[in-house]
Structure 1
Amino acid sequence: MSLSPFKDLGVPEDMIRGLEELAITKPTEVQLKVIPFLLQNGGDLIAQAQTGTGKTAAFGLPLLSKMNPKHRDIQGLVLAPTRELAKQIGKQLFRFTKYTEKIFVEVLTGGDDMDRQIDNLRRPTHIVVATPGRLLDLIERDALTLEFVRYVVLDEADEMLSMGFKPQLLDILKLAAMRRSTWLFSATFPDAIQQLIKGCMSAQAHNIQIDQANVVNPDIDHRFALCKREDKTAFIASFLKRQRDARGLIFCRTKAGANELTQELLAMGIAADVIQGDLMQKERDKVMRAFKKQRVQFLVATDVAARGIDVEGLSFVIHHQLPDQLEYYTHRSGRTARAGKKGMSLALIHPKERPQLMQLERELGIRFREHRG
């Protein structure tokens, strides 16, 4: 009999077995607050949660628990802003059901062969994980219907709105009119999110807000290094050359900056590549395959392009510049120290940026120490 704390949250024993194989043994803050509510109540939910906080399990375990494997129809829908995030969610849901009665999950995203997706949808499908555009394309082709969907999850809702998906989201929610509940997860709550909530969710929706101090993984070692802008490339190159087999991400604010840094690192003989918003999907897939298969040791990325990236075993994250938004620091640093491992988040700053560093410390409840390596 499992003694997992997930049992106290109401997670079925057969799913706990799958979690333990994934080394998921201790619930995160968002899982502690979300899972019991969704399992026991299941009404509309509005939750603040960033990448790396364990939100896929927070909504995924209750969603899987509510599926009826004996019915062939699509009963659950998860919407995500990017192809990578959708695939990551689909993979996790599949892993959670290793020891359960079979629940079929289909991932539908742009960049994949649509005819193959249509063929796959002819099989029993209980949960669809999709990007909004591709889902609507397939609905227009009569490849699937949302009339039997009872649960809709909007993951990284703020990112979907910032990418211009509001009209598609509204159309999809209308088509899933028979849903029992909508579960919305968002890192931030700008006016556009508030309007979406008001128009599509119950006024009695349950709100869960995770304290900022609990959002950041405690296994991350936060550091800073004082560095003039013109010295940053040399500093990063020196740091990377000392990493042996360690792998990591370097974040830049702009696409031009990411491209420039990558070219400079390549010229120094460093195995790096770049992922940014101007890449075609085929190019993006090629870069991610090379990085995941460790043919490329270091990846330079912009914040938006990095959404949905989930690569195991990253030892560090470097911030070429501090991000403009508080939640982006959490998104960035959350790429390391996964699955109970330690990781480092290193910010390169000008002395004048110390106040920004102090603000991050105050608002996230973390402490930076100077990197002298």
Structure 2
Amino acid sequence: MTAESIEQRIQRAQSLRLKRMIWGFANHACTALAVIGLYLGGFLPMEPVLVFFASSLLCGTLLVLVLQFGINLRFKDPSMTMIQIIWPVIPSLYVMFFVALPQGRILFLLLATGGIMFGALALNRRQMLTIAWLFWLGYLGLVLVLGWLAPERIYWPLEAVTLFAYASVLSIVAYLGSFISELRHQLSIRNRELKHANVELVELATRDSLTSLPNRRTVMEQFEREVARSERQSPGPKALGISVLDIDHFKRINDTFGHQAGDEILRKVSRTIQATIRKGDYVGRIGGEEFLLIFPDTSPDHAVPAAERIRKAVEALRFDELPEGYRVTVSQGVTIHQVGETLQTTFKRADEALYQAKNSGRNQVLAA
């Protein structure tokens, strides 16, 4: 994967995190509307309202800056899910202290419970339950502080029922949210497995299992594409060249030294061919010990030397499976595609040149 594609993936992930953050801000905006409503109804003084909006603006700005400058990428959870769920509760608890009616405090509890569901995007069950109990403990602490500083605003039987109901609701929401999160996680794993399986299927369908080179169908499809591209080009010195390559006396090698030695020779010859051809050239195994090499944008003066380099590279190989001094050689038939002819005609001409090379003593390149 290139550095550019990694950068693009990071940008897409950051963009998605920003969208989720905006959703969280929208949820907090509902709380802000409730605060305004309580103020306009005379249930909330001005000072806590100003503190609520100032602290909300400050926290929201800090979160956006952390995301924009990529600081969140250093965190274990770059989405900052728990932080985004918990921070709106702090200014809400502050405002709830000044609400005159218990019903007004329950309004904030409902809105905070909705915010927990954002944890279903990333958090596990333990994290969801942790957030739920932090919410519950926060409200319990608020009730205790009110009972100490403003006991006239506390009706303990109602608060006890509220605390019990809130604990039950938070537990259910946390459980359902973690269940959804686990389903998303399992779906993500299945998608990755499916993607990996699809890649393996493509490899099995297009690659030779022994040499990992493109198989006959794939290399012939590439040949067909190159022929079509060559036909579209304006006449010039560059053309499409191919070489049909065959390992000399390969059956004798299998019969004498075994198929395991033959398989290793095929693999090593394949790697050598790949390392020798130019960037943009193409090679595939078309069957047995035969290979097809495609040389786009070439000419007879360049195709034959390219094939000759491959022949020399293979001849220089040494194999532990073979006796010392034993050389593996290849023969090749090279030709240039002529405008207007079919790829079968071009291939047949190269194949005939290969047989001439083998009948003329092998370990050579002949051009047709």
TM-score (norm 1): 0.18
Between Structure 1 and Structure 2, the one with more helix by share is 2
Question: Larger % of strand: which?
Answer: 1
Higher relative contact order (CA 8 A, sep 6+): 1
Q: What's the TM-score, normalizing by structure 2?
A: 0.18
